[in-house]
Chain A
Amino acid sequence: EVLLVESGGGLVHPGGSLRLSCAASGFTFNNYDFNWVRQAPGKGLAWISYITTSGTTMDYADSVKGRFTISRDSAKQSVYLLMNSLRVEDTAVYYCARSLGANPYVFDIWGQGTMLTVFS
């Protein structure tokens, strides 16, 4: 079964840091790009980051650029999101999403999400 399982969410104070993890299984990890998409409580979806198969090209939404870092580890078949300088407005469910084959901007598999709450 093709699966993405996120973990690492929790409660953090403003200015704090946290690392999210996304464990992949059921498919050839190295063949796919990955993304992080978040959803604030009661709000819509917002893409925040992308990483290519090789891990050498990353991209970020302006809202997190300079604060968040995406990475991947092929040995662990995992994708990570290191979040620094967290703000209250970063509070959201964070989803890991696989890119669809040759189209990196379509997300065909999603994890169940992990919740981050930033509170003062």
Chain B
Amino acid sequence: SYVLTQPPSVSVAPGQTATITCGGNNIGGKSVHWYQQRPGQAPVLVVYADIDRPSGIPERISGSNSGHTATLTISRVEAGDEADYYCQVRDSAGDRVVFGGGTKLTVL
């Protein structure tokens, strides 16, 4: 089945830019979605279809996808951005929905 690889952790100072990657074989040909999960809370969709944001998600959160890597970028990081972030795609074979292992974003 399709595998999505994320770094376990990313650290960034407040006001800086956080970049969270999601690697997969030719992931650029898939539609990638990203979820934010704050401690003790349910996941929240923050980016879908590579680059789109649901209503209420700030513009400083953005996504991109090309080649073998999709990327979630959070600009002007705030303490409230500290959370686990998961990428997700549809897999046409095996389990129909695949999540990456998650990346813990720490705001220093």
Q: Which residues of A contact B (CB under 8 A)?
A: 35, 37, 44-47, 50, 59, 61-62, 95, 97, 100, 103, 105-108, 110-113
* Closest CB in chain B relative to A109 CB, distance in Å: 8
B residues at A contact (CB < 8 Å):
31, 33, 35, 37, 41-45, 48-49, 54, 84, 86, 88-90, 94-102
Given A47-B95, A106-B48, A108-B54; 20 other pairs, CB 8 A cutoff: A35-B97, A44-B84, A44-B100, A45-B43, A45-B86, A45-B88, A46-B99, A47-B99, A50-B96, A62-B94, A100-B48, A103-B31, A103-B49, A106-B33, A106-B49, A107-B45, A108-B48, A111-B42, A112-B41, A112-B42
- Tell me whether B43 and A61 are in contact (CB under 8 A): no
Closest to B94 in A: A62
User: How many A-B residue pairs lie within 8 Å, measured between CB atoms?
Assistant: 61
Contact of B86 among A44, A50, A100, A108 (CB under 8 A): A44
* Contacting residues, chain A, for B33 (C-beta < 8 A): 105-107
